[in-house]
Copies of this chain bind each other. A is one copy, B any other.
């Protein structure tokens, strides 16, 4: 008999999200999250460093998967098409079933400065990971710009997926098309 709980992470995540939604992020303690999940505080801290981090579980892995898929994209793909391949590779995280929780999570994050800061740091980490793999395709400056634009595409893909119906991949492709339209015709004559 063991107290090791294979689904502890998931239970803590769900308990945290429930409590943040029900009584508020500020008011929720780690003790309350652990209790609701039927686990101890000690178990909480084995999985998460603080009550912010529980909302960002999996995001490091997600960033890594995106970057790996960018690195694996065809050699002659344009940097931003490689980024689309990276975004497409994590579609399994963004299923219809996960949308309600994602929507709730986004709402909680948007109303707390400390959570927004943490989210921005995670997106910054995505940008750093993208830049590192894009260096194989571009100069340093172009890789940095493409990484930033890639983060913009990821954010917009995520926002549209949260707000609308539709599947992750077709949304990502739509964002890619829109970015092309937004940038393509510079210096057109004004008419």
Measured as residues with beta carbon below 8 angstroms from the partner, the interface class of chain A is 35 or more
C-alpha spacing A180/B120, complex, angstroms: 25
| Contact yes or no, A76 B191, CB < 8 A | yes
- Closest Cβ of chain B: how far from A111's Cβ, in Å? 14
Asked if A160 and B183 sit within 8 Å, CB to CB, the answer is no
Contact of A121 with B by CB under 8 A = yes
Identical chains bound together, number: 2
- 27 A-B pairs whose Cβ atoms sit less than 8 Å apart in the complex: A76-B191, A78-B185, A78-B186, A78-B188, A80-B183, A80-B186, A81-B186, A113-B121, A116-B121, A116-B124, A117-B117, A120-B121, A141-B160, A141-B178, A142-B178, A144-B159, A145-B153, A145-B156, A145-B175, A145-B179, A145-B182, A148-B152, A148-B155, A149-B179, A152-B152, A182-B183, A183-B183
